[in-house]
Amino acid sequence: MEHGFAKNACLDSKIVTQFPKPIEDFANTFVSMQTKRLSADYDPFSRFSKSEVIQDIATAAQAIEDFGTVSIKDRRAFCAFVLFKKRQ
C-alpha cells in the first residue's frame, strides 16, 4: 500500500463521507496517524509525550476495531478506494 496515496484518498471527503461512520472515522484517524508518523520520521524538532503516544495507540486501535464492525462489502469497497488509482 502506498501510504501517501491512501492518505490523499482518505482526505477526499466527497467519497469518504459516503461510507458508514466507522469507516469515515478510520479514514480520519489514518490521516492523523500518517501525519504524525511523517513528522516523527522527518522533523528533527518533532516531539511526542509518552501520554500522547499512548492515546494515539488507543485511538488507532479503536478505529481498527470499529472498522471491523462494518459490513464486509463496505470494508472491501473502502480498501479498493484507498488502494487503486482512478482511471481517467
Q: In the chain, how many H helices and how many E strands?
A: 5, 0
Q: Answer yes or no: is 41 within a domain.
A: yes
Contact 60, 33 (CB under 8 A): yes
What's the structural domain count of the chain? 1
The range of the structural domain enclosing residue 8 comes to 3-83
User: 16 exposed, middle or buried (CB, 10 Å; 0-12, 13-18, 19+)?
Assistant: buried
Give average pLDDT by consecutive 10-residue segment, the chain, 88 residues: 88 95 97 93 92 96 97 96 82
Is residue 49, in this structure, part of any structural domain at all?
yes
Report the candidate in 87, 88, 73, 74 with the shortest Cα–Cα distance to residue 26: 74
Q: Is residue 88 included in any domain, yes or no?
A: no
